[in-house]
Amino acid sequence: MTDETTGADTPSIPTETAPRPKRRWPWLLGGLLVALAAWNAVVFLPVRSALADESDASIIAYRRWLVSPSQVVLDVRSVKGTQSMAGMDRMLFKAAEALQDRSFDSVVLAYRGDTRLLMDGPYFQEIGATRQTQNPVYTMRTMQEHLSNPDGTPAFQQWSGGWLGVLGKQLEDHNEFHKRWWVSGAIGDI
């Protein structure tokens, strides 16, 4: 016999395997989700706290597309049959008061994620800042002038003329505002 060995008899030498690349994407994704939640909690929590005693409707606040620094969404999630337009006005005013120290370009008024109207951001901030001192009926009558359609066109016009005629038109606009924001959707759900 020869001292030569065949390849089958050669003892195998363990080879070092290349280190596995560390998977960083789950950590990055997790960090992104935590940051996104914190970014939205800044508007969600104050509004939730302000509306905690309201039981006839549920409104949540979040940033538009969850990332927008200049737009916040007030999203009506559910409405009971006992909710009134005045009650929704009160909830809108409370949300404005809760966010009065933050400035936005616009506030999206949505129903179950569907954009219905846009409110001028500085006006929304003004509603919040003057909630305790301003006559709410005056705010209810005049806020429609600060609303626009989702495409940016004015949703309602500014009325002029005799006070009785102007008051009548403003109240009609107020009713139409609520129909477009949440009433039409809530009636469809009932």
Q: Which H, E and C letters describe 19-67, residue by residue?
A: CCCCCCHHHHHHHHHHHHHHHHHHHHHHHHHHCCCCCCEEEEEEEHHHC
Residue 31 lies in a domain: no
Residue 11 lies in a domain: no
Report whether pLDDT(177) > 80: yes
Structure tokens at 134: 């301003």
pLDDT band at 145 (very low <50, low <70, confident <90, very high): very high
Give the number of other CB atoms < 10 A from CB of residue 35: 11
Q: How far apart, in whole angstroms, are the C-alpha atoms of residue 170 and residue 147?
A: 13
Placement of tokens 């992104």 in the chain: 32
Please tell me the total count of domains within the chain: 1
Residue 21 lies in a domain: no
Report whether pLDDT(190) > 60: no
The percentage of residues in the chain with a pLDDT greater than 70, rounded to a whole number, is 89
Q: Which of 144, 136, 139, 126 is nearest to 180 (CA)?
A: 144
Query: What is the pLDDT at residue 13?
Result: 66
pLDDT tens, 38-93?
999 999 999 999 999 999 999 999 999 999 999 999 999 999 989 999 999 999 99
Residue 108 lies in a domain: yes
pLDDT band at 18 (very low <50, low <70, confident <90, very high): low
pLDDT, average across residues 129-147: 95
Residue 20 lies in a domain: no
Query: What is the pLDDT at residue 146?
Result: 96
Residue 49 lies in a domain: yes
Residue 18 lies in a domain: no
Residue 116 lies in a domain: yes
Range of the domain at 89: 36-189
pLDDT, average across residues 89-109: 97
